[in-house]
Amino acid sequence: MTDAVTMEVKILRSSPSEGVPSAYQHFTVQGTDNMRVLDVIRSIYENQAGDLAYQFACRIGRCGTCAMRVNGVPVLACQERCKLQMRIDPLSPFPVVRDLVVDRTEVETRYAQMALTPAGPQSNARVRPIAPAVAEELCHLDSCLACMVCVSGCPAVEEHAFDGPAFMLKLRHMQEHPADNGDRLGQALDGGLLECFACDACTQLCPADLSPAQAIRDFRRDMIIGSKPK
């Protein structure tokens, strides 16, 4: 059963390239209580503000494109249920392109700089099989959507020079990979590993059921006790 509801929605709208300062625009939306935030935004776009800029792709919580902040909490708009009162902001701390669309260039650049590809086997080397448990773990770590919800929700990113939990998770993924021989702990330290407060907010917010906080703790354990040989 779904109930008809009336929602009061505030969306932070801006267009830095056109010099339009950011300001909240209010909308009243008629809908049902099982709508997702993305449905509400689409309704606003189709019926009230045709110039509203927003992004989405899969609508099933697998692409991470529709990440934004609802009432101050970073979420995937396609997964989050609508609320009667909503304040919708673009995903911080990323630069806004327009309205709810943020520029992810820096994210892609940083991933590229990290060289997140394990070295392949040399032509004369024997290919070593990966243990099933390790393979399962690697697949799990690889399921990060790169939605940046964890980065947006991380208080350490706000306060310190910390790349963010998503990047630490990717580095840990490589660290766990048997074929990788990069200095991932060194990269993590350069990325601000020690700035993390270990508050676990990233784990609670991650839409992909991952635990970046545990990845950070594993790196710290390696730093203190030493890592297991691959």
Partner 1 sequence: MSAVLPLPRNTTRQADTYITGYVARTLNRACGMIVVAFVLVHVVAEAILRVPALAPVNAGLPWLPVVQNQAWVHAILYFCIAFHTLYGLKLLAGDVGLRVPARASFLVIVGIAGLFALRELLRYVGL
Q: Which residues bind partner 1 (CB under 8 A)?
A: 36, 61, 70-73, 75-76, 79-81, 83, 137, 140-141, 153, 155, 172, 176, 197-207, 209-211, 213-215, 217-218, 220-221, 224-225
C-beta closer to partner 1: residue 16 or 155: 155
Closest CB 37 distance from partner 1, rounded Å: 8
Cβ closer to partner 1: 18 or 209? 209
Minimum CB separation of residue 153 from partner 1 in Å reads: 7
Q: Give the span between the Cα atoms of 39 and 33, in whole angstroms.
A: 11
Please state whether beta strands 85-89 and 67-70 pair in parallel, antiparallel, or not at all (unpaired). antiparallel
Provide, rounded to whole angstroms, the least separation between the CB of residue 15 and partner 1. Answer: 25
Minimum distance from CB of 90 to partner 1 (Å)? 15
As a whole number of angstroms, the distance between CA 179 and CA 97 comes to 38
Query: CB–CB of 13/25 below 8 Å?
Result: yes
Query: 216 CB contacts (<8 Å, ≥6 apart)?
Result: 165, 168, 172, 188, 193, 196, 198
Identity of the residue, 15 or 61, whose beta carbon is nearer to partner 1 in the bound complex:
61
Instruction: Report the alpha-carbon distance of residue 126 to residue 112 in Å, rounded.
Output: 28
- The residues near 208 (Cβ < 8 Å, ≥ 6 apart) are 143, 144, 145, 147
- Minimum CB separation of residue 205 from partner 1 in Å reads 7
The smaller minimum CB distance to partner 1, of residues 73 and 101, is found at 73
Nearer to partner 1, 114 or 149 (CB): 149
